[in-house]
Chain A
Amino acid sequence: MWVAPQKRDARVIAHYTGILVVGVGLAMIVPLITAVSLGEWDAALDYLFGMGIACAAGMALALVSPPDQPLDRTNALIVTALAWFAASVTAAVPLAVSGNYASYLDALFDAMSGLTTSGLTLVQDLDHMAYSHNMWRHFLHLIGGQGIVVAAVSIAIGLRGGAVSLYIAEGRDEKILPNVMHTSRFIWFVTAVYVTLGTAALAGVNLFSGMEPTRAGLHAFWATVACYDTGGFGPQSMNALYYHSWAFEFVTVLLMIAGTLNFNLHADIWRGDRWEIFRNIEARAWAANVAILSAFAALGLGSTLLFSDTMSVLRKGVYHVLSANTGTGHQTLYTAQWVGDYGGLAMGAVILAMAFGGMASSTAGGIKSLRLGLIVKGVVLRVRESLAPSSAVVRAKFHHLTDRELTPTLLDSALLVFVLYMVTYISGALVGAAYGYPIGEALFESISATANVGLSTGVTSPAMPAGLKILYILQMWAGRLEFVALLTLFASLVISVRRKRSQRS
């Protein structure tokens, strides 16, 4: 049944969105403090400006409806979908006035890319950007990655029904732990531990490379956040290539893997069940996926002239497969090298790694290995069914935290999301091709946006057509939400417009 939304629904939605916008405005205190403590007065004013606009606009929205109205499931879905857009629109304000973006649209692109932990960027003159602006860009990875919604849940007292349904809408619908507060506290705990460790390790690497202490620390924190939240922004135009360091690449790859690990799995292991990682269908499917694609990438690179030595195979092949698969998107190649030097087979492996993606309940994007694992099990089940005598009942089991049975419902939802991702990947590529980009590059970029990866063959640039920028913003948004919440938002918009029309006629 299609239920038409009422005016009251719109007000409640506006209220919650407003609160979120105020929250994003308040988060700008972090870059503001950075700017003030480093004496970047021009950038400090950008954040004062951003905070003022965000808090005023958010408060105006929040006043539309009285507080503490409950959210039903549909409205929770709509708030979630809108949250990413509203947060991006807000977060883009200080970037847009920074002087490093050609237009507000470009700043919005980066804000959406940051919050969805994608990593595609339209920034200009990055090497001269203020530290505080880089702090904001990377901080967006952190707040977006750990979930705007989870953040809202963990900070707000929010255990009134509404917050719980917000959490469910975010595409992280597995029950991690008995309650939301507990869950979000655990997520922040794991994050704090990994971010502290990663920052310390990378700061060591950077100091050894001769960076001065402040820069070493800031770069270490940014790279840690960008990898652990599988984001992919970097503070230099050369991205990860800037550091020219295998040690840097090694530490960041460990962080990427930690970032793509399912939070349920982290929770299980940290509770003392260390063998779960070997038995878990998702971890197994992920490991097999990465192993096979790394082998293909290595096979491909082995036949190129430039990257056939062992070090290149590891640092250009395996590194990029992991960066792609975990949805991070750190890159140590120039964009033209994908097509020019990397070879078709290896590039194909990286494209598939992006498309498949990491694990569910993490910041990784893409189809995700749990779904791939279930689909493979499903195929095997069908074959076994057709081989078995007609009276036999054939069942398939899998282990994901507990032993479970593969039900048609589970398989259906895995296949549905798989299909939606595929359709989006391909349609995005076709639009890119229609704009005149070669189809290979258009496909690469479309998948990179939808799976929230951030690797680029150079299509994404400030000079690209505005239509394509908007398309990639939509793809990053849709991919992050795994479609359903966004489709709900559009459906409810269409229904309310139709209802208005029928009322008039």
Chain B
Amino acid sequence: MEIRFHSPYRHWLVGLLAELAVFTGFLAVIALIAYVASLAG
């Protein structure tokens, strides 16, 4: 499926999914850091 927005943002859906993937990945990393830090606490 391709949804067309005006030209420069043709890739908005890919961009959106990329953002969500990066956010989720970032949360996973932060969770891991917090887990390790809490063991030290």
Contact = CB atoms under 8 A, between A and B. Distances in A.
Q: Is there a direct interface between A and B, measured as CB atoms under 8 Å apart in the complex?
A: yes
Interface of A: 186, 189, 193, 250, 253-254, 257-258, 261, 266, 269-272, 274, 277, 287, 290-291, 294-303, 308, 310, 313-314, 317-318
A193 B12 contact: yes
B35 A313 contact: yes
Query: What DSSP secondary structure best describes chain B's contact surface?
Result: helix
23 contacts: A189-B9, A193-B12, A254-B20, A254-B23, A261-B19, A270-B12, A270-B16, A274-B15, A277-B18, A277-B19, A294-B33, A294-B34, A294-B37, A296-B37, A297-B34, A299-B40, A308-B41, A310-B38, A313-B34, A314-B35, A317-B34, A317-B38, A318-B27
B31 A257 contact: no
A297 B33 CA distance: 11
A295 B33 contact: yes
Given A299-B37, A308-B41, A290 B12 contact: no
Nearest to A307: B38
B5 to A, nearest CB: 7
Given A299-B38, A299-B41, A302-B40, A271 B11 contact: yes
A270 B11 contact: yes
A277 B38 contact: no
Given A299-B38, A302-B37, A318 B14 contact: no
Interface in B1-41: 5, 8-12, 14-16, 18-20, 22-24, 26-27, 29-31, 33-41
A314 B34 contact: yes
Given A189-B9, A270-B9, A291-B29, A298 B19 contact: no
A287 B26 contact: yes
Contacts of B34: 294-295, 297-298, 313-314, 317-318
B33 A270 contact: no
A438 B35 CA distance: 32
B11 A301 contact: no
Nearest to B26: A287
Contacts of A271: 8-9, 11, 15
Interface of B: 5, 8-12, 14-16, 18-20, 22-24, 26-27, 29-31, 33-41
A277 B22 contact: yes
Nearest to B40: A299
The 10 lowest CB-CB distance pairs between A and B, nearest first, are A302-B41, A302-B38, A298-B34, A270-B15, A298-B37, A272-B11, A298-B38, A295-B37, A313-B38, A303-B41
B16 to A, nearest CB: 6
Contacts of B15: 266, 269-272, 274
